């Protein structure tokens, strides 16, 4: 709660034109925006450009943030829309870079895994995300937001500007297409639902 209150105060100062507060907001969320941009754009240099463009948009639109949704959801929407603009301009089609995967994302607690396990896990995830990456953006983006960033389906709908039913439809269609790709390459793709998701 303290963090939520501190963030609300920081956003309020940004909305009043406090540049020092905006710099603090940038420092707090820069890495998150960069990681998300890397996943969507598949290009580290383009991701750096997208971070700058995203925060320019945030600065221009911060007064429109009313607090009805979480700030992270609003920021994710701004980031995704900025990256979509980059994709339209550049027509970038490259494989996902997994360099930003942390050990926390590669394994959940327990003993430290062996180097061989980490290599095998990374290769498996690389194969999986390459298949995700081959899908059209209307299926790829919901899958990324759901399974890599654990956004709720409602938040994905808000970020992408589509109805909740459309999110479920796109996730289901994306999973079906991934299963077909996996069957063709004889690779198992156990994309599991995040806790709390049904359908």
Over residues 161-172, the pLDDT tens digits come to 999 999 999 999
The model's confidence at residue 21, banded by pLDDT at 50, 70 and 90, is very high
pLDDT number for residue 11: 93
pLDDT band, very low/low/confident/very high, at 93 (cuts 50, 70, 90)? very low
Query: How large is the average pLDDT for residues 82-99?
Result: 58
Residue showing tokens 């709908």:
157
Whether the predicted pLDDT of 31 surpasses 90: yes
Q: 88 pLDDT exceeds 60?
A: yes
45 vs 34, 82, 122, CA distance in Å?
10, 14, 22
More confident residue, 69 or 7: 7
- CATH number of the domain located at residue range(s) 2-90 in this protein: 1.10.1740.10
Token pair for residue 166?
């459309």
Burial category of 130 from C-beta neighbours within 10 Å (exposed 0-12, middle 13-18, buried 19 and up) = middle
pLDDT at 9: 93
Question: Which residues of the chain form CATH 1.10.1740.10?
Answer: 2-90
Q: Where in the chain is the domain with CATH 1.10.10.10?
A: 103-185
Print burial letters for 69-100: b (CB count within 10 Å at least 16), e (below 16).
eebebbbbbbbbebbbebbeeeeeeeebbbee
Query: pLDDT at position 146, please?
Result: 87
- Candidate from 10-19, 22-31, 111-120 with smallest mean pLDDT: 111-120
**Cα distance between residue 84 and residue 90, in whole Å:** 10
> How confident is the prediction for the chain on average, in pLDDT?
78
What one-character DSSP code corresponds to residue 20?
Answer: H
pTM: 0.64
Q: What is the pLDDT of residue 123?
A: 52
Per CATH, is 103-185 categorized as 1.10.10.10? yes
């Amino acid at each position: 709660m303290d963090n939520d209150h501190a963030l609300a105060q920081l956003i309020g100062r940004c909305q009043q034109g406090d540049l020092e507060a905006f710099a603090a907001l940038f420092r707090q969320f820069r890495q998150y925006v960069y990681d998300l941009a890397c996943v969507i754009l598949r290009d580290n240099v383009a991701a750096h450009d997208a971070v700058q463009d995203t925060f320019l948009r945030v600065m221009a639109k911060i007064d429109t943030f009313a607090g009805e949704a979480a700030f992270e959801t609003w920021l994710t929407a701004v980031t995704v829309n900025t990256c979509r603009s980059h994709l339209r301009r550049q027509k970038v089609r490259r494989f996902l870079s997994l360099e930003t995967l942390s050990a926390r994302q590669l394994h959940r607690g327990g003993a430290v895994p062996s180097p061989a396990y980490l290599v095998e896990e990374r290769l498996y995830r690389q194969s999986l995300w390459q298949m995700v990456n081959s899908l059209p953006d209307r299926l790829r983006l919901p899958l990324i937001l759901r399974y890599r960033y654990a956004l709720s389906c409602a938040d994905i709908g808000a970020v992408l500007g589509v109805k909740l039913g459309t999110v479920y439809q796109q996730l289901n269609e994306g999973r079906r297409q991934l299963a077909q790709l996996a069957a063709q390459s004889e690779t198992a793709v156990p994309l599991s639902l995040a806790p709390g998701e049904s359908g």
